[in-house]
């Protein structure tokens, strides 16, 4: 797990200046790899790397050079992440080509595989990754990002070349060197207010974009960047008769055992996050089989209903692992949120990332790698909202004109009126109403706070391509498919990567494995969602793995009492952020203060919308105004073992 930075530039660019620029930009992402750092340059390219040593610690230094016998050092690779089947890949290369390896890590196997098998080999890599391979003979760059988008990769283009980085803030540093000037992207801002994150491939800066999940790319000698999707996640549920439940459940258990076993491969200590839900509990229980001394970590708040500490502790005792708890206070949120936003690169208005940052900070005192349960809900049908097609089934039988009238009626009901949102959503088609778990601002609400509202900029332009692909699927499976390309990679995985790497901690997600997806993609609808529960097949498969008290318990995750705090402890803090923000040209601050006051009186719950605006205002103060300058700590992790 590391931070990479690559600049492909015309030969006439001053090489020393380019290397100096890359070296300076590397410092912005030192937290991603505090163990080693360095730059390397060749004609037309400069590479920089920050290493967090996990596998083959004494070797596998990067940038790593490799070449066949007749062309040693032809290739240079930068690699962030893990390829968990690297041992099998190395064995294949030894057997087929009689290769001898100089290191014991993944990077050398990856670049050798690229040489012998070609670009298509990336579809065989089982892991989380973003990498760049420079071919000095062809003067071309090849790279890719993992199938689900677990690891980030940003890029920007200008007259001076094409630059790639694990952190967007590094590209902001490099923008002058390649001749572009990033500005705030107003379309991305409107998307953010709707979805609570900036959807791929956008970022909040107009000239910086993201390589999408499951995509490879090439930069040719003339500087042209071309991309190609190599992974097309396709759900094709079988019928119950085609996939007998006993075999399905045993297949799920087997593939999860295999995935966790491979995710445990490391030359450092591996721990596990543990909430009160089935996903993280299953991962921890399976990990314990490979590490008897496993340590688990959880976090919570001193407020009733907003902590899973007791359930997680009970699970840890049942599994038989050492358990560490971190309690977070409202004051700590006020103190640390600006720093957390700096680490994020782009605003993400998911309050759950705050406790995740604190527990990652705590875990790094004990371990260098943690496992977590992200991805289970998207693959196995775990979100409560996936049951919405069942609850709205009656609306499908209502004639179109009457259904539209019901939607019009919903607009006339006051905010907070019981049944208002049910009528509104029931009047909409699936494509119109569903774009993920987060529903922050509706158009009428955005118009209240956004100075310039652009009609047509909303979730449908993001989700429409994914709905077209899934046109003949059942509604639940279509929702899962949309989430893979929106909610999962825009929110869940961004916060997981950013807040753990902020603490130089590697997070691994065994559910998001191509082999696991192959099984999950075939699960019959009846084995995913029922009237009583979600993730039916997964729960059945894990019956002998997780403790009974967790098996059918609804997950809270790491809930944050923002609704209460904004009425109490956080009110003055939030009001100060709003008043001091230099976003007057973008946002109506008087309207936002009115929302905060409405929320404080308890008449309406504006907490998620206010939180989204506060996070954006902090981001704007850091990255646009330069008014807020968080004190960035040096990576330092005394081990408590």
Q: Are 93 and 116 in contact (CB under 8 A)?
A: yes
* Burial of 345 per CB tally in 10 Å (0-12, 13-18, 19+): buried
Task: Give the list of residues 6+ apart from residue 312 with CB closer than 8 angstroms, or none.
Answer: 274, 275, 276, 296, 298, 323, 325
DSSP 133: E
Rounded to an integer, what distance in angstroms lies between the CA atom of residue 538 and that of residue 382? 9
Rounded to 5°, angle at Cα 424 from 418 and 426: 105
The CA distance from 432 to 430, in Å, is 5
Give the residue from 367, 132, 199, 193 showing the smallest Cα distance to 273: 367
Tell me the HSE value of 374 on the side-chain side, using a 13 A CA sphere: 28
Residue 323 pairs in a beta bridge with 296
Tokens, residue 146: 């993992």
Strand partners, 205: 184
3-state SS track over 482-540: HHHHCHHHHHHHHHHHHHHHCCCCEEECCCCCHHHHHHHCCCCHHHCCCCCCCCHHHHH
Q: Is the dihedral of CA 519, 522, 528, 530 positive or negative?
A: negative
The tokens of 65 are what? 């050079």
Our answer to whether residue 9 is catalytic in this structure is no
Cis peptide before 419 (omega within 30 of 0): no
Helix/strand number for the chain, H first, E second: 28, 17
How many other CB atoms sit within 10 Å of the CB of residue 36?
14
Catalytic option among 1, 2, 21, 367 = 2
CB atoms within 10 A of CB 306: 18
* Nearest one of 85, 122, 114, 278 to 214, comparing CA atoms: 122
**Burial of 639 (C-beta count, 10 Å sphere; 0-12/13-18/19+):** exposed
* Nearest C-alpha neighbor of 299 from the set 361, 374, 371: 361
Q: If DSSP codes are grouped into helix, strand and coil, which group holds residue 379?
A: helix
* 216: its two tokens: 């490879």
Say if CB 76 and CB 65 are below 8 A apart: yes
Q: Is 185 exposed, middle or buried (0-12, 13-18, 19+ CB in 10 A)?
A: buried
Q: Which long-range contacts (CB under 8 A, 24 or more apart) does 312-319 make?
A: 312/274, 312/275, 312/276, 314/547, 314/549, 315/274, 315/276, 315/281, 315/284, 315/546, 315/547, 315/549, 315/550, 316/274, 316/284, 318/547, 318/549, 319/281, 319/284, 319/285, 319/288, 319/547
CB 547 within 8 A of CB 311: no
- Which residues are annotated as catalytic? 2
């Amino acid at each position: 797990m590391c931070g990479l930075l690559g600049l492909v530039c015309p030969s006439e660019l001053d090489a020393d200046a380019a290397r100096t620029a890359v070296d300076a930009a590397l410092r912005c992402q030192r937290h991603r790899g505090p163990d080693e750092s360095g730059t390397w340059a060749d004609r037309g390219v400069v590479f920089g790397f920050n290493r967090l040593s996990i596998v083959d610690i004494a070797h596998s230094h990067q940038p790593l050079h490799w070449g066949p016998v007749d062309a040693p050092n032809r290739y240079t690779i930068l690699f962030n992440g893990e390829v968990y089947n690297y041992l099998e890949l190395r064995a294949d290369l030894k057997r087929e080509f009689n290769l001898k390896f100089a290191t014991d890590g993944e990077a050398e196997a990856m670049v050798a595989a690229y040489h012998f098998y070609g670009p298509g080999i990336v579809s065989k890599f089982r892991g989380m990754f973003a990498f760049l391979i420079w071919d000095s003979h062809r003067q071309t760059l090849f790279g890719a990002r993992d199938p689900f988008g677990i690891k980030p990769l940003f890029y920007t283009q200008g007259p001076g070349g094409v630059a790639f980085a694990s952190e967007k803030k590094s590209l902001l540093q490099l923008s002058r060197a390649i001749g572009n000037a990033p500005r705030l992207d107003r379309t991305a801002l409107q998307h953010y207010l709707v979805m609570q994150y900036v959807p791929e491939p956008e970022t909040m800066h107009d000239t910086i974009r993201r390589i999408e999940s499951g995509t490879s790319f090439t930069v040719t000698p003339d500087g042209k960047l071309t991309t190609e999707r190599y992974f097309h996640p396709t759900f094709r549920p079988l019928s119950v008769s085609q996939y007998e439940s006993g075999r399905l459940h045993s297949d799920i258990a087997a593939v999860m055992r295999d995935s966790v076993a491979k995710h445990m491969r490391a030359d450092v200590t591996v721990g596990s996050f543990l909430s009160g839900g089935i996903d993280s509990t299953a991962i921890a229980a399976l990990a314990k089989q490979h590490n008897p001394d496993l340590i688990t970590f959880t976090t919570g708040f001193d407020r009733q209903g907003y902590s899973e500490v007791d359930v997680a502790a009970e699970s840890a005792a049942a599994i038989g692992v050492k358990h560490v708890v971190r309690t977070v206070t409202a004051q700590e949120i006020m103190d640390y949120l600006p720093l957390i936003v700096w680490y994020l690169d782009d605003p993400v208005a998911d309050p759950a990332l705050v406790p995740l940052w604190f527990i990652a900070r705590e875990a790094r005192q004990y371990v260098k790698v943690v496992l977590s349960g992200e991805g289970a809900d998207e693959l196995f049908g775990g979100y409560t909202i996936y049951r919405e097609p069942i609850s709205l089934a009656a609306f499908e039988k209502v004639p179109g004109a009457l259904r539209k009238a019901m939607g019009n009626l919903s607009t006339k009901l006051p905010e907070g009126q019981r049944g208002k949102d049910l009528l509104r959503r029931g009047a909409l088609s699936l494509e119109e109403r569903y774009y993920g778990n987060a529903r922050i601002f509706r158009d009428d609400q955005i118009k209240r706070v956004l100075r310039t509202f652009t009609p047509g900029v909303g979730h449908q332009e993001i989700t429409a391509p994914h709905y077209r692909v899934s046109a003949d699927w059942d509604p639940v499976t279509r929702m899962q498919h949309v989430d893979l390309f929106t909610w999962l990679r825009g929110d869940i995985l961004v916060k997981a990567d950013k807040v753990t790497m902020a603490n130089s901690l590697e997070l691994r997600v065994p559910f998001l494995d191509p082999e696991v997806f192959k099984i999950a993609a075939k699960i019959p609808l009846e084995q995913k969602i029922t009237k009583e529960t979600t993730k039916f097949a997964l729960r059945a498969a894990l019956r002998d793995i997780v403790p009974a008290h967790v098996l059918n318990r609804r997950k809270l995750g790491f809930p944050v009492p923002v609704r209460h705090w904004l009425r109490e402890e956080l009110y003055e803090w939030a009001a100060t952020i709003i008043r001091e923000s230099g976003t007057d040209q973008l946002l109506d601050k008087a309207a936002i203060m009115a929302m905060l006051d409405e929320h404080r009186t308890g008449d309406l719950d504006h907490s998620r919308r206010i939180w989204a605006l506060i996070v954006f205002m902090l981001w704007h103060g850091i990255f646009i105004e330069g008014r807020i300058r968080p004190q960035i700590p040096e990576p330092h992790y005394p081990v408590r073992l």
